Amino acid sequence: MISLATNIMSLLVMNNLRSSQQAMQTSMERLSSGLRINSAKDDPAGQAIANRMGAQIRGMNQAIRNTNDGISMVQTAEGSLDLINDSLQRIRELSVQALNGTNSSEDRASIQLEIDQR
């Protein structure tokens, strides 16, 4: 008859060694990465919260970029409106000047030429 003997004590030691090695590997991962959660198995609820917060941060960063783009567009429009306002003020000055009865036809033609160029 053949008998197979198992050494229960050695199996327990092997099992404890494997558990210790896994715990050590997890600790080394955390130390090397500097993160408390390296994967969802470390803390599923914490990972879900971190994912949600990451999405919120990305959304807020995009909102900030969009706001900055909007501010730039408004500043560009404001600059254009300033130029238009300056042109209209100059046209008004020229129109008042043209109404002066002392201007010759050449003077009025010169005034009209400047208005046309604006």
Using a cut of 0.85, tell me whether the model's pTM lies above it.
no
Q: Kindly state the tokens that stand for 82.
A: 């300033």
Give the angle subtended at the CA of 78 by the CAs of 74 and 84, to the nearest 5°: 145
* Domains defined for the chain, CATH in brackets: 10-39 (no CATH), 40-117 (1.20.1330.10)
What is the reported pLDDT for 62? 98
Per-residue pLDDT of the chain (118 residues; tens, 9 = 90+): 555 567 888 888 899 999 999 999 988 887 888 777 777 777 889 889 999 999 999 999 999 999 999 999 999 999 999 999 999 999 999 999 999 889 899 999 999 999 999 8
What is the reported pLDDT for 30? 78
Q: Residue 103: what are its φ and ψ, rounded to 5°?
A: -80, 140
What is the reported pLDDT for 2? 57
